[in-house]
Amino acid sequence: MTSTHHKAKQFQAIKGVRDILPPESVLWNRVEQTAREVFGTFGFAEIRLPIFEQTELFARSVGQETDIVSKEMYSFDDKPGGMPDPGPFVIPEDYTVAVEHAMKTGQIPLNPSNQSIMASVRENLKMLRKASDLSRTQEAEQAYMRWFVALQHLELGESITLRPEATASVVRAYIEHGMQTLPGNVKLYYLGPMFRRERPQKGRYRQFYQIGAEVLGSSDAPGIDAEVIEMLMRLFERLKLKGAVLHINSIGDKNCRPAYVEKLRAELQKVREQLGPDSQRRIETNPLRVLDSKLESEQDIIHKLPRIADHLCESCREHYAEVKKQLGLRGIKYEENWRLVRGLDYYMRTTFEITAPGLGSQNAVCGGGRYDGLVELLGGPATTKGIGFAIGTDRLVLSLQGEGEGEVQGGLDVYLAWFGAAAHSAAIGLARRLRDAGFVVELPAVEMKFGKSLGLADRLKARHAVIVGDDELAAGVVTVKRLSDGSQQKLGEQELFSYLRAGNA
Ligand code: ATP
Ligand code: MG
């Protein structure tokens, strides 16, 4: 008999997503841990959010005209359960009740459209009953048909989307849990993956990670904006991120921005033919985004466009001036960049971005700004204002690695080589005590020859090999070998701990 061995298919991660492996994951943890610590000292607490939400949440908050909503979202229909099984005989009364029950339990989405369909289902059922009671067969048949057809129109699925960003979710949660009744400003931070179907390249992935924070409350005091930025800069300092540059701008509010946008649109119309297709499209959909363009051929044109700073209303101008003053009080340097507009629709007034070296053209590690109308837009109180930012963790880590801050400490303190059954048992106990004391210990699972075992200790880059054999057991000591220089000595357990501590200090 001949047998052909088909090699099993191997799998690869999907385009644009990636694994974060050790030791890089150690750096990721350090970044996230430092963020938790720094944000904690500013009174922020973590909010853990769902990875998916109703598509409509993002459509409404991020904005239909943005790249994110128009083409980058991972959306799909969630079909929770479908129609109830009608069984062999359909009794319209019973089946209607079953469908209503399915809507109550969430098996069929309970949305306004389905609710109005059910109203007409009920109506037709009533007519059906009446016609049958009066033995008007033809009318009854027609009512039955209408009842039946109406049911076919129920929406069985609900569109849901993997979150492309998290501010919308934070605001949704803020409203859903009535957080406006909490005292003071609500300060929340989050971290986790986001999803956008973009063209993958260095620093741009389809699953990427953000660390973000939001302040929600009734105040829009410029001191809040300044403190949020201060918190960010403290984080970057603590991480020793070099060469971070803070760019700020004010893009006005709903009083002054519309007039500016119209003016901008009018000016853009005049130069329409000189612009690329993206910018041409944005004249209609989102003229502010033209300012964001990196196209070489458009730079001279953009340079001559009207600037928002000259069109801010009195209160926006004052707000912006005060933000800058308060940044000064905190010793924070910034560059004003009139072309800085955020990609999402909900921003107003203060916007900011932080760039870092070593990232090529994807050099923004953080974007943020004020979004005073968003809570109201999502059905919350009109008085709630908000400001926040999102750090692109992938890019932050890339930049830290590029700046030589990616070196990770740690590694293996002790490789615990044992020889013989009695030594094995002693080594298991010693390993536990060492680990309880915080040392990183590798205990070989099977017995190895001396040379092979010590060779592995070397290759694992252990700092020390601790050797337990029959001789050591008899003498009540272990042999400890420092692998950097090969120096070796016999120590009792207490001495061993002191020796390792001194070596780690
Ligand atoms: P960009 O202009 O670089 O596309 P953006 O304006 O789309 O950024 P935001 O939506 O403000 O970015 O997100 C905040 C931060 O998240 C960005 O500054 C960036 O560091 C990071 N980020 C955004 N999209 C991606 C992505 N696809 N891959 C990796 N990081 C990203
Ligand atoms: Mg983008």
DSSP string, 411-447: --SEEEEE-SHHHHHHHHHHHHHHHHTT--EE--SS-
Cα-to-chain-centroid distance, residue 74: 14
Rounded Cα–Cα distance for residues 468 and 486 (Å): 17
Say which amino acid occupies 380: G
Ligand 1 site: residues with CB under 6 angstroms? 165, 196, 198, 203-205, 208, 210, 343, 362, 364-367, 390, 392, 394-395
Rounded Cα–Cα distance for residues 88 and 110 (Å): 26
Spatial CB neighbours of 318, under 8 Å, sequence gap ≥ 6: none
* Nearest alpha carbon, ligand 1 atom 18: 366
Spatial CB neighbours of 379, under 8 Å, sequence gap ≥ 6: 175
343, 349, 350, 353: CA torsion to nearest 10: 20
Spatial CB neighbours of 399, under 8 Å, sequence gap ≥ 6: 241, 356, 357, 358, 359, 365
Phi, psi torsion values for 259, nearest 5 degrees: -65, -40
Rounded Cα–Cα distance for residues 164 and 174 (Å): 18
**Ligand 2 centroid distance, CA of 196 (Å):** 9
**Ligand 1 centroid distance, CA of 392 (Å):** 6
pLDDT at residue 230, rounded to an integer: 98
Query: In terms of Cα–Cα distance, which of 306, 309, 303 is closest to 251?
Result: 309
Mutate to test the pocket of ligand 1, among 74, 194, 293 (most ligand atoms within 8 A of CB): 194
pLDDT at residue 81, rounded to an integer: 78
Cα four-point dihedral sign 393, 396, 402, 406: negative
Spatial CB neighbours of 106, under 8 Å, sequence gap ≥ 6: 80, 81
Rounded Cα–Cα distance for residues 414 and 200 (Å): 41
Query: In terms of Cα–Cα distance, which of 408, 318, 277, 341 is closest to 66?
Result: 341
Rg (CA), the chain: 32
**Ligand 1 centroid distance, CA of 196 (Å):** 10
**Ligand 2 centroid distance, CA of 342 (Å):** 9
Rounded Cα–Cα distance for residues 193 and 211 (Å): 9
* Inter-residue contact 432 to 481 (CB < 8 Å): no
pTM of the entire predicted model: 0.86
* Inter-residue contact 405 to 468 (CB < 8 Å): no
* Inter-residue contact 205 to 359 (CB < 8 Å): no
**CB neighbours (10 Å) of residue 104?**
10
Cα separations in angstroms, 293 against 126, 278, 344, 348, 366: 61, 9, 15, 19, 18
Query: In terms of Cα–Cα distance, which of 152, 62, 49, 47 is closest to 99?
Result: 152
Q: Beta strand pairing status for 414-418 and 464-468?
A: parallel
Among the bound ligands, the one closest to the CA of 209:
1
* Inter-residue contact 260 to 251 (CB < 8 Å): no
**CB neighbours (10 Å) of residue 307?**
15
Closest ligand 1 atom to 366 CA: 18
* Inter-residue contact 287 to 272 (CB < 8 Å): no
* Nearest alpha carbon, ligand 1 atom 19: 392
* Nearest alpha carbon, ligand 1 atom 7: 343
Cα separations in angstroms, 271 against 85, 186, 264, 302, 360: 62, 45, 11, 10, 30
Spatial CB neighbours of 419, under 8 Å, sequence gap ≥ 6: 447, 450, 453, 467, 468, 469, 470
Spatial CB neighbours of 451, under 8 Å, sequence gap ≥ 6: none
**Ligand 2 centroid distance, CA of 74 (Å):** 15
**CB neighbours (10 Å) of residue 62?**
24
Which parts of the chain sit beneath pLDDT 50?
none
